[in-house]
Structure 1
């Protein structure tokens, strides 16, 4: 289990992203219910689709995905949650020391996990290398028949264009569509709300308001 946790974005914020710590709003109750149902089906061994979750920044996509992964850890199931940008960075770093062997080691670790979360797809800088590498990653997860959750700030059409290969073929996007059910998360941004609250508290503490 420690190997999979080491690959994940495990920091203080990640560890607090659990269903137990879920802060309910008028917008996210259905998302919570979905997360609980997804975990229950997955943990009971029932067939379930992966998820492609899009929406504006700060609406809870990453929290949801990390809460699912933390639920897997709580039940001793293997899972990895990592941002696409960090994953590509890890693979690129192996070139200096291990070359292709290092790349395959990372991809094989993803294949070993029962559930993989690729967070913030679309934030990474698009290059021919990143496009080809992402296809390798998605194809490896698919061929291992593992479940995938993807979060992105992009719309479905934007993501399709972002993932286009240099020959104009949407291989990666088409594979994701085969593996994941698309859903859109809507609501007020937690980040914007947090800034407003911090601003109010700041001036209150200074006795200005």
Structure 2
């Protein structure tokens, strides 16, 4: 019995040339081949062997698809867990318009922070109401999520309320919420000092700060250092300031700049 291999008619081949493909940098052998069977029998075609351009294109398309899915997953995660005001959802770095030199410097510092992001450095945005601290903080999360980073924006007063709510419902548990807060690449804790000063709030804040040790966090506050220290207590304030750069943002009320 003849083997299957012996029954297959191999095409006639003629070597044409060998070259290095400029697209994939692989050595390619070009041959002329004659179709041995079928309606195109006898027809000669030119075939290139060794080129990886098609494989590379497919791999790049697959990588792009994965990146798009990852970005969409990051956005869904952010939308699900973040506690963000409706007015901040449209905030971007591009549509932030500084109203003073100090705010322009703050925007540049934020831009540099995004470009140099290593997942470890903290920022504390300090200034009076309406200067765009929350706006710039949200902008950082959006830029980093475009890079595939996991980010979270939480108003501290709302977060503490949310944690209390977990004690009485069957939705997101406190442990789940704190685990998410701990693991994200960047956490924004907005409006420090606006929460009610209770022993429970101070203890819970320390737990959050302690869990974030060594990971990037951005804080915003309307209080000065003396007020913030008194509000948080010395232990929390000390933990807050570890590896943290302070950005001062005082100026005209950004939200009323049109007037």
Q: TM-score of the superposition, structure 2-length normalised?
A: 0.66
Higher strand share: 2
Gap regions ≥5 residues in structure 2: 1-73
CA, structure 1 residues 182+159, in 2 after alignment: closer, same or farther (shift >3 Å)? same
Secondary structure of the 1:5 match is helix
Instruction: Give the root-mean-square deviation of aligned CA atoms.
Output: 2.0
Of the three residues 193, 203, 226, the one matched with 1:122 is 193
Distance 2:181 2:192 in 1: 16
Higher helix share: 1
Gap regions ≥5 residues in structure 1: 165-169, 198-209
Compute the displacement of 1:11 (Å).
Answer: 5.5
RCO comparison, higher one (Cα < 8 Å, 6+) = 1
Structure with the greater alpha carbon radius of gyration: 2
Alignment of 1:62 with 2:134, yes or no, is yes
Compute the displacement of 1:48 (Å).
Answer: 5.5
Count matched residues: 184
Q: TM-score of the superposition, structure 1-length normalised?
A: 0.81
8 Å contact from structure 1 (residues 17, 70) kept in 2:
no
Q: Runs of at least 4 residues of structure 1 off by over 6 A?
A: none
Distance 2:98 2:150 in 1: 27
Range with greater deviation from structure 2 (185-194 or 63-72): 185-194
Compute the displacement of 1:96 (Å).
Answer: 1.3
Aligned residue in 2 for 1:30: 105
CA, structure 1 residues 48+172, in 2 after alignment: closer, same or farther (shift >3 Å)? same
8 Å contact from structure 2 (residues 120, 215) kept in 1:
no
Aligned residue in 2 for 1:137: 208
